[in-house]
Structure 1
Amino acid sequence: MSSAHACETLMVEEVPFPLHVTATTKPLSLLGHGVTDVEIHFLHIKLTAIGVYLDPDVVSKHLQQWKGKGENELVDNDGFFEALVSAPTDVVIRVVVIKEIKGSQFGVQLESAVRDRLAAVDQYDEEEEEALEKVTQFFQSSNYLKKHSLISFTFPATASAAEITLTTMTEGKEVTKKMKVENENVAKMMKKWYLDGPNGVSYTTVVSLAHNLAALLSN
């Protein structure tokens, strides 16, 4: 469920996402949104809301091979999402907590998903293990990620690194901390966790991306 609000934001599960963010030099557009969720004893629990920001030029520069394809042809197309992940373009992924979670729990989920992806392509060595451990520790240092905590993953086009920004409320104050992920393989697989087509962490986000990118590819 989502709707435009005040023309400046899009509401995703009652979480406002700005329609544009600036990562490095130019504004990026909100081209995908969705949720992560889980079913427990027939209860449908939404965990996080997600917004994916891309430079719309990614379509004309890196995705023309899929011009004219519809949403249904793109949504389960591994090659399309691999091209999106690999494209040298700025990407920002904003994740807003809906259901409170332990920082350590979020860190372990991310670590496990990234490690499995790296191992599958034989890229999980000591350097990757070390970099991933730092990411896990970064999240573990926040005891709880309360509702409305914001996790931003920034992937600059010109760098092989990524930056994680975590904003939480502690004793009524907003606390922000950042870390750089210098390992290129780990950075790419973190991006892939969210943009890995049917294998990504949020299928609703993938469907939304396929819908919006198909529309841009039809122009």
Structure 2
Amino acid sequence: MATVSPVSELRVEGYSFPPAVKPPGSSQSLFLAAAGVRGLEIQGKFIKFTAIGVYLETDAIPHLALKWKGKSAAELANSDQFYSDVIKCPFEKFTRITTILPLTGEQYSEKVAENSVAGLKVAGIFGEEEAAAVDKFKEVFKGLNFPPSSSILFTYSTSGSLTIGISNDGSSPEDGITVIDNKGLAETILESIIGKHGVSPEATKCLAERISQLLSNHSIPTPKLPVDQNNIIPV
């Protein structure tokens, strides 16, 4: 496992996102890559609904460094490909969505499902399996309520499965309440959160800033060239 420079805690609207966390369904700790608020402009006033934290596996840094090391935060923030590479890199990711205002499970899942179906159709990968996965996602949230300070937790595995967890006290439970095995849905949900046009511009900007800094501190090892035995000169 790679090591990265220490990262700091981030606070969003009074909610703390620690530097590292072990997500539900995972055997390892992930580092805090970004955090930000999600809100909407309603009748001229910005209403804040949730605070979002984004965590990555440390091995994502050397992977991203091969292509993005040396790029400024602004360059990363303006690149669709950068966010796509983060979303699709073959390492674990985790997001924590903490409610600022009360939210019902149906309100949350219906909106996420609507956006996910649209994204899957644009990508040309919405079939029977994806439709069943979306239905399972909505079913998980039926009858649930999320008062302020409760959290919805998503663990994105390297196999493409999505582990869903719930927390009422800011902690991260060891296990989730369900697992959905559909890579397309998992990546689409993650893209809606940390894609360049994700639901929290503050979080996507923060992601570019923190990853740029971590990449600048990361050294890329020089590969060892194979020794050509025929060119060894005896002494």
Could you say which TM-score interval applies, normalised by the shorter chain?
A: 0.7 to 0.9
Q: Considering only CA atoms, is the larger Rg found in Structure 1 or Structure 2?
A: 2
CA pair 120-52 structure 1, distance change in 2 beyond 3 A = same
Checking the alignment, whether the CA contact within 8 Å between 2:110 and 2:138 is kept in structure 1 is yes
Q: Which residue of 2 aligns with 1:86?
A: 88
Q: Distance in 1 between matches of 2:32 and 2:204?
A: 13
* Distance in 2 of aligned mates of 1:8 and 1:207: 16
The aligned residue for residue 184 of structure 1 is 183
Give the Å deviation of 1:43. 1.9
Query: How far 1:45 sits from its partner (Å)?
Result: 1.1
Residue number in structure 1 paired with 2:135: 133
Shift of 1:177: 6.3
How many residues matched? 204
> TM-score, structure 2 length as denominator?
0.81
Are the counterparts in 2 of residues 64 and 217 from structure 1 also a CA contact under 8 Å?
A: no
**How big is the shift at 1:9?**
4.3
Asked whether the 8 Å contact 2:10–2:35 carries over to 1, the reply is: no
* Cα deviation digits, residues 105-161 of structure 1 (max 9, x gap): 10011101111110001111111111101111211221x32111111100122x221
Superposed CA offset, 1:19-58 (max 9, x none): 1112323321111000110111222211000110112331
One-letter code aligned to 2:195: D
Give the share of equivalent positions with the same residue, in percent.
28
Which consecutive residues of structure 2, in runs of 5 or more, have no partner in the other structure?
Answer: 1-6, 170-174, 218-235
Alignment match, 1:146: 147
Within-5 A mapping of 1:5-84: 9-23=9-23, 24-84=26-86
Taking a change above 3 Å as real, the CA distance of residues 168 and 25 of structure 1, as seen in their structure-2 partners, is closer
Secondary structure of the 2:125 match is coil
Q: Which amino acid aligns with 1:136?
A: K
* Contact 1:53–1:92 (CA under 8 A) maintained in structure 2: yes
Larger strand fraction of residues: 1
The TM-score with structure 1 as length reference comes to: 0.87
Query: 2-side partners of 1:152 and 1:78: how far apart?
Result: 25
Secondary structure of 2:160's partner?
coil
Range that drifts further, 102-111 or 18-27? 18-27
Mean CA deviation greater in 8-17 or 85-94: 8-17
SS of equivalent to 1:140 = coil
Contact kept in structure 2, 1:29 and 1:54, CA below 8 Å: yes
Q: In 1, are the aligned partners of 2:9 and 2:32 still within 8 Å (CA)?
A: no
CA distance in 1, matches of 2:71, 2:10: 26
Structure 1 gap ranges (5+): 1-6, 170-175
